Structure formats: C-alpha cells, structure tokens
Amino acid sequence: MHFSRHFKIIIIAITSAILFSSCHSKKLIVKNNADKKDVGSELPDLINRGPYIMVKPGKHIAEKYADIMGVKRSDIENGRLYDFIDQWMGVPYRFGGMDKDGIDCSGLVFLLQLQVYDQPVPRTCATQVEVIKRKYEDELKEGDLVFFDYDGKQFSHVGVYLQNGYILHASTRKGVTIVRLHDRGIYEYFSRCGSVINSTASAQSN
C-alpha cells in the first residue's frame, strides 16, 4: 500500500516535469509528411508539405495580388505562394505566435519557406539570417529574405520578397501584410537580404 502511494507520487512528479518543460520547448522541425505528428499543436495549418512544384494560381488570386503589387496577372505565377499569402493575410502579429490567432515575422517566414518551397529554415530572425546567400537589393527574387534592424537591434525583423519591390511580412501594427520595400518607415531599417541556402542542418540544430 505504501509502495503504491509512493509510486503514484513519482508518476505525478514526472508528468508535471514533462508538462512544465513542454511549455518552454517547441519542436519546430518537420522532415516530411510522416513527421507532422511529432510537431503537434506548435505548427497548426502545416499543410501542403512536400516536393516543391510550381502550381498556377487561380484567376481570383492572380487578379487580387497583381492589383496589390501593380503587376500583370500573368506575373503572378506561383499559386502555392499566393494561396499561402491569402490564407495568412491580415492575421495579427503576436510575438512567438505560429497560428491564425497571431504570428510573428520569423514564424511567418518559417512556415512560408516550409509550406511553399519545402525548405526548412531556423525559427528566429537571428538564425534565419545565417542561412542566406547574401545579395544586392537589385538581385532580389521571389522567396528571398529581407532583414531589418529595428529598435537598434541587428536583424530583428524579417520579411519575404515577392516582386516589383514588394515584400510580405508580419507587421506589429497591421499583422500579415504586403508593403513596398521602399515604403517610409521600413526601408530606412533595411539591412540585409539574400536567398535561402540548403539549411536543413541549420534548422535541425535549432
């Protein structure tokens, strides 16, 4: 009887320790579709993971984002990208967020790179900047990352380049939105950009 009670106390203590630690540690790496179950609720809406394939956008999506960025409808070619954007547009900013209740800038980049390009990247701005091949601004192409130094902190904000000078990012004021890189209040903090390199190893280490 005494042993049984002691055993229950041990089980409760172990369970509490696991629950406590899970609040401070999130597994954010997905290797393939079979691993989704390991990610759990940390990555809601983690869909369409798989080999990157260019998919044509629907007419409505193409027209909508062509109008936003001032380009021809035929210039909106990556349906997978713009479907992702359309699902997240307007979602509010929330530091550390990874779902439709709120998402932060690096979380948005993390999910976009994974779901659209099947390219794992680290979770934070400071580590994402370590897995890019640096470029000049005039060399930017769709999917490249752009970094900003806000509040005097180097690489404290990140977005994704689209086309025609527009980027996607999670704004602290407007949530997930598309803006011009040269917009006032943004470009002055622009500090680095580049394309994502094969970062699987770097992502796994984070």
Q: What is the pLDDT of residues 154-167, one digit of tens each?
A: 999 999 999 999 99
pLDDT of 174 over the 50 cut: yes
Catalytic residue from among 6, 24, 169, 193 = 169
| Nearest partner of 108 among 132, 89, 130, judged by Cα | 89
2 classed as catalytic? no
Range name among 13-22, 77-86, 161-170, 188-197 with the lowest pLDDT average: 13-22
Amino acid at 54: M
Proportion of the chain above pLDDT 90, given as a percent: 67
Query: All domains of the chain, ordered by start, with CATH?
Result: 28-204 (3.90.1720.10)
Q: Is the pLDDT of residue 102 over 90?
A: yes
Instruction: Supply the pTM of this predicted model.
Output: 0.75
Please state the rounded mean pLDDT for residues 169-197. Answer: 96
Q: Quick check: is 105 catalytic?
A: yes
Active-site pick, 23, 125, 157, 193? 157
> One of 105, 125, 182, 193 is an active-site residue; which one?
105
DSSP result, 4-37: HHHHHHHHHHHHHHHHHHHTS-------SGGGHH
What band does 50 get if pLDDT is binned at 50, 70 and 90?
low
Write the DSSP symbol of residue 91: P
Instruction: For the beta carbon of residue 192, count every other beta carbon within 10 angstroms.
Output: 17
Q: Tokens at residue 80, please?
A: 């997978």
